[in-house]
Amino acid sequence: MSESPPVFTRLAVVSDLMAARITVARLESEGIAARIMGEGLGPYRLTIGDMAATEIWVEEGSIAEARRVMLASEIDGLADPTLPPVPGTPKGMMMLGAVTLLAVVAYRVLSAVF
């Protein structure tokens, strides 16, 4: 009697193909068989909007371990002090707002004087 092929279960949907490949590499480094599926893998690569979403699938028996690995990866990424700050953070938005306000006030004052 032949063995049945392994059953894979969807673990996650990520925003792009590169993120999926990085996640699958991390899972495979932990010994978890993983696959990726999505429109970005076909001959007509669609990489914008919802069509860019890529699914990560793992063997059904490894789903709990795969979730643990993904959680550990997220925590490691948050704790890495070498990562550059994310653009558009609240501090950057506050600075942009302050500069804009200063420009508007300067314009009003100068236009009233001249």
Number of domains in the chain: 2
Q: What percent of the chain has pLDDT over 90?
A: 29
Same domain, 7 and 22: yes
The per-residue pLDDT for range 28-69, each reduced to its tens digit, is 999 999 999 988 787 777 667 777 788 999 999 999 999 999
Identify the bridge partners of residue 59 per DSSP, sorted by sequence position.
Answer: 8
Residue 104 clears pLDDT 60, i.e. is over it: yes
Helices (H), 3-89: 17-29, 63-79
Same domain, 88 and 78: no
* pTM of the shown model: 0.61
Same domain, 41 and 92: no
pLDDT band at 91 (very low <50, low <70, confident <90, very high): low
pLDDT at 42: 76
Same domain, 71 and 91: no
Same domain, 56 and 12: yes
Residue 92 clears pLDDT 70, i.e. is over it: no
Q: Which of 15, 12, 108, 105 is nearest to 67 (CA)?
A: 12
Same domain, 45 and 75: yes
Same domain, 14 and 57: yes
Structural domain range at position 54: 1-83
How many angstroms separate the CA atoms of 68 and 74, rounded? Answer: 10
C-alpha separations of 40 from 19, 21, 22 in Å:
12, 12, 15
**Max CA separation in the chain (angstroms):** 94
